[in-house]
């Protein structure tokens, strides 16, 4: 910001503004250019598009590929699979829409240079599982980013978007966004005819297992700070299934993925005494969820449930049996390479703990909960569905448009569509990009009116924590605890503790109830009141402050949704102790919320689940 605090205001006009350039944002940027040759496409990213988002480190598998060219799967099969895994509740129209287009996305990735492994016998892509194909994916993100960079008029890196702007003349119409450059401090005002939010999911809203110096180590990317949810929530977009957080079974302490081990290396699990345990919990689970336990494959949450019950019964730790598979040198190589392309930290953890999986069966654990819409859960914004496929009740505008006019979303942002993963998120970005272009061409030609007062007020709010710190710092001579401000790390730890203890985190073994949620909401609202007193030492801490704002708003939404759904739909993800069973009669539905920023209230309602595919 310079020695004398000379902060610039940068005003940018765009036809389409893409917020967050991970997988979905790159897809949205690419496709917007394809359909909107004459349009001005601007993409804003808080990190650097080259290595940003959950795929930053690379991946070892693309988890969503139908293989229609070889008649391996059809889109309908994928909808059935996701519906089954989510205990019956998915937006089948949205899921089908992604599944029918996802193969073409993967073919583009290969064309752009992504090495996809092939089965030497069949020549087809090497399958890791029914939906997964294996890649040499260390450079997955740079490859995808290149396509987006070439498509955008301009990519603004290092801009953290803090708020959306609304049209001053038309209610419920988005008009752009504001944010700041995390390196220079410049204030950015983007005015746009359509906005696509693709700002990733939410880690660090529940207390992680790794605390203290290890707290940056989480399964989902630590920089996924819930902007995908907070930005739309704040302007009143309806959200869905925000209670549907995910808990993952992963290798202990490094969060190393287990998919390739189970699917490709054919490993399996045992309790601490070397016994198979999942079948022991069958009757118990059946009492809670009925026939859902008989589905194939067994839903992810129910497999977690057996794991948690076995550990609670005193028969941990749960281990993965790797010793057998690793005797095969090929499988041993695959096992290690699986981490090198994606979670190198797990290999380092094993080395540091003297674990050679050829000789020792490594421990597994269940993670803290995360909130996201692209993995095996489906929290996110309530979006209009595809014209040719969505039931009338799911259609009020353009495909992937939220309940705010001109506001679109993709990837982790959009709710109801689990199991899209990297390729499905890029595909949904393409779908949203195409629809946003159509919206601009047909309805949004006029540039929305942005009130200067609105963005100047926001500017003051955004930078206030720097001022709070500058003044409050004089009240202490040393240390970090001040009587007049709260540092982002303190606020984050307070948030994580509330969510952990009241909303079903690790310390309560994922258990909550109406009373705990009620108290949790009181404490979250107290934190919200204190957010005016955040102090930021520098621009980096200012970014942390706004990430905390976003995490807090998303957490409030999660807590309201969890309170509203009076059943335990996904045992293994979380439990309502006062409603321990799945209740299809009353809760085979989506939960929807709408936040009113003037009053701070969340209005809750139910929406029907339509089963379009048999």
Ligand X SMILES: Cc1cc2nc3c(=O)[nH]c(=O)nc-3n(C[C@H](O)[C@H](O)[C@H](O)COP(=O)(O)OP(=O)(O)OC[C@H]3O[C@@H](n4cnc5c(N)ncnc54)[C@H](O)[C@@H]3O)c2cc1C
The CA distance from 63 to 419, in Å, is: 8
Q: Which is nearer to ligand X, 22 or 520 (CB)?
A: 22
CB of 160 to ligand X, least distance (A): 5
- Residue 53 vs 465, nearer CB to ligand X: 53
Element (H, E) at 453: helix 452-472
Contact 79, 92 (CB under 8 A): yes
CB of 319: closest distance to ligand X in angstroms? 21
Of residues 433, 380, 383, 419, the one with CA closest to residue 403: 383
Task: Of 487, 610, 224, 549, give the one whose Cα is nearest residue 380.
Answer: 224
Return the number of the residue (79 or 516) whose C-beta is nearest ligand X: 79
- State in angstroms the smallest separation of the CB of 562 from ligand X: 22
Q: How far is CA 608 from CA 67, 240, 383, 605, in A?
A: 31, 12, 14, 10
Distance of closest approach, residue 510 Cβ to ligand X, in angstroms: 20
Q: Which is nearer to ligand X, 53 or 357 (CB)?
A: 53
Q: Which residue is nearest to ligand X (CB)?
A: 22
In the complex with ligand X, the residue whose CB is nearer, 193 or 549, is 549
In the complex, least distance from residue 21 CB atom to ligand X, rounded to whole angstroms: 5
Task: Report d(CA 66, CA 85) in Å as an integer.
Answer: 17
Q: Which CB sits closer to ligand X, 40 or 51?
A: 51
Residue 373 beta carbon to ligand X: minimum distance, rounded to whole angstroms? 7
| Least Å from the CB of residue 57 to ligand X | 8
Q: Answer for the pair 495, 203: CB distance below 8 angstroms, yes or no.
A: no
CA angle 469, 474, 477 (to 5 degrees): 115
- Of 47 and 466, the one with the shorter C-beta distance to ligand X is 47
Nearer to ligand X, 225 or 366 (CB): 225
Supply the DSSP string of 150-175, one letter for each residue.
Answer: HH-SEEETTEEEEEEEE-SSSTTBEE
Between 248 and 320, name the residue whose CB sits nearer to ligand X. 248
Q: Output the six-digit token pair for 276.
A: 């198979």
Which residue carries 């009620």 as its tokens? 518
Chain positions contacting ligand X, by CB under 6 A: 19-25, 44-47, 52-55, 59-63, 160-161, 198-200, 219-221, 223-225, 227, 257, 374-375, 411-412, 421-423, 425
What's the token pair of residue 312? 């609670």
| Shortest CB 95 distance to ligand X, Å | 14
CB of residue 552 vs ligand X: minimum separation in angstroms?
14
Q: What is the C-alpha to C-alpha distance for residues 548 and 495, in angstroms, rounded to an integer?
A: 9
* Residue 409 or 571 having the CB closest to ligand X: 409
CA 147-151-156 angle, 5° bins: 95
Minimum Å distance from CB 502 to ligand X?
25
Q: CA 346, CA 334: separation in Å to the nearest integer?
A: 14
Q: Which residues touch 455 (CB under 8 Å, ≥6 apart)?
A: 165, 178, 189
Q: CA separation (Å) from 603 to 233, 594, 600, 606?
A: 12, 5, 10, 11
CA distance 567 to 587: 7
C-alpha to C-alpha distance for 499 and 513, rounded to whole angstroms: 13
């Amino acid at each position: 910001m310079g020695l004398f605090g000379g902060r610039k205001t940068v005003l940018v006009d765009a036809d389409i503004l893409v917020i967050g350039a991970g997988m979905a944002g790159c897809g949205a940027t690419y496709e917007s250019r394809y359909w909107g040759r004459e349009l001005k496409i601007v993409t804003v990213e808080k990190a650097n598009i080259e290595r940003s988002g959950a795929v930053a480190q690379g991946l070892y598998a693309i988890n969503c590929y139908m293989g229609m060219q070889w008649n391996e799967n059809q889109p309908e099969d994928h909808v059935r699979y996701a519906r089954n895994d989510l205990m019956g509740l998915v937006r089948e129209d949205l899921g089908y829409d992604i599944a029918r287009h996802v193969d073409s996305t993967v073919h583009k990735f290969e064309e752009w240079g992504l090495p996809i492994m092939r089965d030497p016998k069949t020549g087809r892509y090497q399958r890791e599982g029914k939906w997964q194909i294996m890649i040499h994916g260390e450079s997955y993100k740079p490859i995808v980013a290149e396509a987006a960079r070439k498509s955008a008029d301009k990519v603004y890196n290092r801009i953290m978007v803090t708020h959306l702007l609304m049209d001053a003349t038309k209610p419920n119409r988005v008009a752009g966004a504001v944010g700041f450059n995390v390196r220079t401090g410049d204030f950015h005002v983007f005015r746009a005819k359509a906005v696509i939010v693709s700002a990733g999911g939410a880690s660090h809203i529940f207390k992680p297992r790794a605390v203290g110096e290890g707290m940056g180590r989480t399964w989902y990317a630590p920089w996924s700070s819930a902007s995908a949810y907070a930005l739309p929530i704040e302007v009143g977009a309806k959200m869905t299934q925000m209670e549907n957080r995910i808990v993952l079974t992963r290798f202990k302490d490094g969060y190393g993925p287990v998919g390739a081990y189970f699917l490709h290396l054919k490993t399996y699990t045992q309790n601490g005494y070397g016994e198979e345990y999942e079948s022991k919990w069958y009757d118990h689970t059946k009492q809670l969820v009925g026939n859902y336990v008989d589905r194939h494959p067994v839903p992810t949450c129910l497999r977690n449930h057996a794991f948690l019950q076995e550990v609670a019964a005193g028969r941990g730790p749960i281990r993965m049996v790797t010793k057998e598979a690793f005797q095969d040198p090929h499988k041993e190589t695959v096992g290690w390479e699986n981490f090198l392309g994606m979670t190198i930290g797990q290999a380092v953890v094993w080395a540091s703990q003297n674990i050679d999986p050829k000789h020792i069966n490594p421990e597994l654990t269940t993670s803290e909960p995360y909130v996201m819409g692209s993995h095996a859960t489906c929290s996110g914004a309530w979006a209009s569905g595809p014209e040719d496929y969505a039931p009338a009740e799911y259609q009020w505008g353009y495909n992937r448009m939220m309940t705010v006019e001109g506001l679109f979303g993709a990837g982790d942002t959009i709710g109801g569509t689990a199991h899209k993963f990297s390729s499905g998120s890029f595909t949904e970005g393409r779908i949203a990009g195409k629809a946003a272009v159509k919206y601009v061409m047909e309805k949004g030609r006029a540039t929305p009116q942005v009130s200067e007062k609105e963005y100047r007020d926001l500017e003051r709010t955004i930078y206030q924590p720097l001022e709070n710190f500058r003044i409050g710092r004089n009240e202490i001579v040393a240390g970090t605890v001040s009587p007049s401000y709260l540092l982002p790390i303190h606020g984050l730890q307070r948030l994580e503790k509330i969510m952990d203890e009241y909303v079903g985190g690790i310390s309560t073994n994922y258990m909550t109830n109406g009373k705990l949620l009620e108290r949790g909401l009181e404490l979250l609202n107290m934190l919200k009141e204190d957010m005016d007193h955040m102090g930021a030492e520098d621009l980096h801490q200012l970014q942390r402050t706004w990430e905390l704002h976003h995490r807090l708003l998303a957490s409030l939404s999660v807590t309201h949704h969890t309170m509203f759904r009076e059943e335990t739909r996904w045992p293994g993800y979380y439990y309502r102790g006062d409603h321990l069973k799945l209740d299809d009669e009353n809760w085979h539905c989506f939960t929807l919320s709408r936040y009113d920023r003037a009053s701070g209230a969340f209005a809750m309602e139910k929406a029907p689940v339509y089963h379009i595919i048999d």
